[in-house]
Amino acid sequence: MSDAFLRPPFENLQRQHQAVAFGMWIFLVSEVLLFAGLFAGYTVYRDLYPQGFLAAGRQTDIVFGTVNTAILMTSSLTMAVAGRASRAGFGQMARRLLIATFTLGALFLVLKGLEYREDIQRHLVPGAGFALAQRGAQIFFSYYWIMTGVHAVHVTAGLIAVMRLIVVSRRNVGWLAGSASEDATALYWHLVDVIWIVLYPLLYLVGRANG
Partner 1 sequence: MDESRARREIWIRPVVVWVALCLLLAATCALAYVPMGNGNLPVSLCIAAIKVALVGLVFMRLFENNPLNRLAAAAGPIWVFVMFLLLGADYFTR
Partner 2 sequence: MTDTAVNSAMPPDYLHDGHTLRSWLLSTDHKRIALLFVFSITVFFFIGAVAIGIIRLELLTPAGDLVSDDTYNKLFTIHGIVMVWFFLIPSIPATFGNFLLPLMIGAKDLAFPRINLLSWYLYIGGAAFTVATLIAGGVDTGWTFYTPYSTMFSNTAVLTAAMGVFVVGFSSVLTGVNFIATTHMLRAPGMTWFRLPLFVWSMYATSIVMVLATPVLAMTLLLIMAERWLDLPIFDASRGGDPLLFQHLFWFYSHPAVYIMILPGMGVVSEIIACFARRRLFGYSFMVYALVAIAVIGFFVWGHHMFVSGQSPYANMVFSFLSFMVAVPSAIKVFNWTATLYRGSITFEAPMLYAFGFLGLFTIGGLTGLFLATVPIDIHVTDTYFVVAHFHYIMVGGTVSAFFGGLHFWWPKITGKLYPESWARLAAILMFFGFNLTFFPQFVMGYLGMPRRYHAYPPEFQVYHVLSTSGAAVLGVAYILPLFYLIWSLRYGAAAGMNPWRAKGLEWQALSPPPRDNFLSPPVVGEPYDYHPQEGPDAEGDAA
User: Least distance to partner 1 from the beta carbon of 7, Å?
Assistant: 20
Interface with partner 2 in residues 40-99 (CB under 8 A): 40-41, 44-45, 48-49, 52
Q: Name the nearest CA neighbour of 154 among 82, 99, 72, 86.
A: 72
Among 6, 38, 81, 125, binds partner 1 (CB under 8 A): 81
CA distance 199 to 148: 8
Among 1, 27, 63, 84, binds partner 2 (CB under 8 A): 27
Q: What is the 3-state secondary structure (H, E, C) of 44-108?
A: HHHHHCHHHHHHHHCCCCHHHHHHHHHHHHHHHHHHHHHHHHHHCCCHHHHHHHHHHHHHHHHHH
Q: Name the nearest CA neighbour of 206 among 30, 40, 19, 43.
A: 43
| Range in contact with partner 1 (rule: CB under 8 A) among 15-23, 112-120, 126-134, 172-180 | 15-23
Contact positions toward partner 1, by CB under 8 A? Answer: 18, 21-22, 25-26, 28-29, 32-33, 36, 39-40, 43-44, 47, 62, 66, 69-70, 73-74, 76-77, 79-81, 84-85, 88, 90, 93, 186-187, 190-191, 193-194, 197-198, 200-201, 205-206, 208-210
